[in-house]
Structure 1
Amino acid sequence: MTLFTNAVESIQIGVEDLSKNDDRRVLSAVRNVHAGVLLLCKEKLRRLSPDDEILLAQRFEPQPNDKGEVAIEGVGRNTVGADDIKKRFKTFHVALDWKRFDGMADIRHHMEHSYFKGSRKRARQAVADAFLVIRQLLVEALQEDPLKTLGPECWTALLENADLFAAELQACQVTLKSVRWDTEAAARALPDFACPSCRSSLVRQRDPNNKSQPNAALICAACGESAELGPVLSLAFDETFGAQGHIAVKDGGEPPISTCPECSEETYVVKEGRCAACDFTLPEDAACAICGSGLSAEDYYEHDGLCSYHAHVASKDD
Structure 2
Amino acid sequence: MTLFANAIETIQIGVEDLLRNDERRVLSAVRNVHAGVLLLCKEKLRRLSPDDEILLAQRFEPQPNDKGEVSIEAVGRNTVGVDDIKKRFKAFDVPLDWKRFDGMADIRHHMEHSYFKGGRERARQAVADALLVIRQLLVEALQENPLTTLGPDCWTALLENADLFEAELQACRVTLEGVDWDTEAAARALPDFVCPSCRSSLVRQRDPNNRSQQNVALTCTACGENSELGPVLGLAFEETFGAESHIAVKDGGEPPISACPECGEETFIIAEGRCAACDFALPEDATCAICGNGLSAEEYYEHEGLCSYHAHVASKDD
TM-score (norm 2): 0.97
CA distance in 1, matches of 2:83, 2:75: 18
Structure 1 stretch displaced more, 292-301 or 87-96: 292-301
Seen in structure 2, the aligned counterparts of structure 1 residues 64 and 11 have a Cα distance that, compared at 3 Å, is same
Q: Per-residue displacement from partner, 1:258-308 (whole Å, max 9, x unpaired)? A: 111101111111121111010001122222233232211121133332211
Which residue pairs with 2:37 in the alignment? Answer: 37
Tell me the residue number matched to 2:217: 217
Partner residue of 2:284? 284
Contact 2:214 2:279 in 1 (8 A): no
What residue is the counterpart of 2:312 in the other structure? Answer: 312
Q: Deviations over 1:190-237 (max 9, x none)?
A: 100011111111100111111122222100111100012101001111
Q: Distance in 1 between matches of 2:258 and 2:82?
A: 30
Distance in 1, matches of 2:168 and 2:316, equals 55
Cα offset for 1:315?
4.1
**Match of residue 123 from structure 1:** 123
Structure 2: which amino acid aligns with 1:127? V
Distance in 1 between the 2:317 and 2:82 partners? 46
Equivalent position of 1:239 in the other structure: 239
Q: Is the 8 A contact 1:61 1:72 kept in 2?
A: yes
Aligned residues of 1:205 and 1:216 also touching (Cα < 8 A)? yes
* 3-state DSSP of counterpart to 1:58: coil
For 2:79 and 2:302, locate their aligned partners in 1 and report how far apart those are by CA, in whole Å. 44
In 2, the alpha carbon distance for the partners of 1:49 and 1:280 equals 55
Q: Which amino acid aligns with 1:184?
A: E
Is the partner of 1:72 in helix, strand or coil? Answer: strand
2: CA distance between counterparts of 1:203 and 1:239? 16
Within 2, Cα distance between the matches of 1:48 and 1:87?
14
Cα 1:79–1:317, aligned 2, differ >3 Å: closer, same or farther? Answer: farther
Kindly provide the CA deviation profile for residues 162-196 of structure 1, in whole angstroms up to 9, marking residues without a partner as x: 00010000000110111111211111111000111
Aligned-partner Cα distance in 2 for 1:48–1:314 = 60
Structure 1 residue 79 corresponds to structure 2 residue 79:
yes
Secondary structure class of the residue paired with 2:75: strand
Percent of paired sites with the same residue: 86
Partners of 1:159 and 1:116 in 2: how far apart? 25
Q: CA deviation at 1:316?
A: 4.2
1:88 aligned counterpart, secondary structure: helix
Give the match for residue 165 of structure 1.
Answer: 165
Look up the match of 1:14: 14
Distance 2:203 2:2 in 1: 41
State the alpha-carbon separation in 1 of the partners of residues 241 and 145 from structure 2. Answer: 37
Counterparts in 2 of 1:164-183, with a 5 A limit?
Answer: 164-183=164-183
Distance 1:313 1:236 in 2: 37
SS at match of 2:58: strand
Q: C-alpha displacement at 1:14, in angstroms?
A: 0.1
CA distance in 2, matches of 1:99, 1:301: 34
The CA distance in 1 between the partners of 2:206 and 2:289, in whole Å, is 45
AA matched with 2:121:
K
Distance 1:28 1:55 in 2: 28
Structure 1 residue 26 displacement after superposition: 0.2
**Counterpart-to-counterpart distance in 2, 1:294 and 1:181:** 27
CA distance in 1, matches of 2:185, 2:35: 36
Instruction: Check conservation: 1:259, 1:301, Cα contact below 8 A.
Output: no
Unmatched runs of 5 consecutive residues or more in structure 1: none
Q: Distance in 2 between matches of 1:301 and 1:66?
A: 67
Once the two structures are TM-superposed, the CA of residue 239 in structure 1 deviates from its matched residue by 1.0
Match of 1:251 in 2: 251
Query: Which residues of structure 2 form unaligned runs of 5+?
Result: none
Asked if the contact 2:269–2:276 (Cα under 8 Å) also holds between the matched residues in 1, the reply is yes
Q: Which structure 2 residues correspond to residues 193-212 of structure 1 after superposition, within 5 A? A: 193-212=193-212
Partner AA of 1:105 in structure 2 = A
User: Which residue matches 1:140?
Assistant: 140
User: Partners in 2 of 1:301 and 1:90 — Cα distance?
Assistant: 42
- Residues 84-103 of structure 1 mapped to structure 2, 5 A cutoff: 84-103=84-103
Paired residue secondary structure (1:77): coil
State the alpha-carbon separation in 1 of the partners of residues 79 and 167 from structure 2: 38
Is the CA contact (8 Å cut-off) linking 2:286 and 2:305 kept in structure 1?
yes
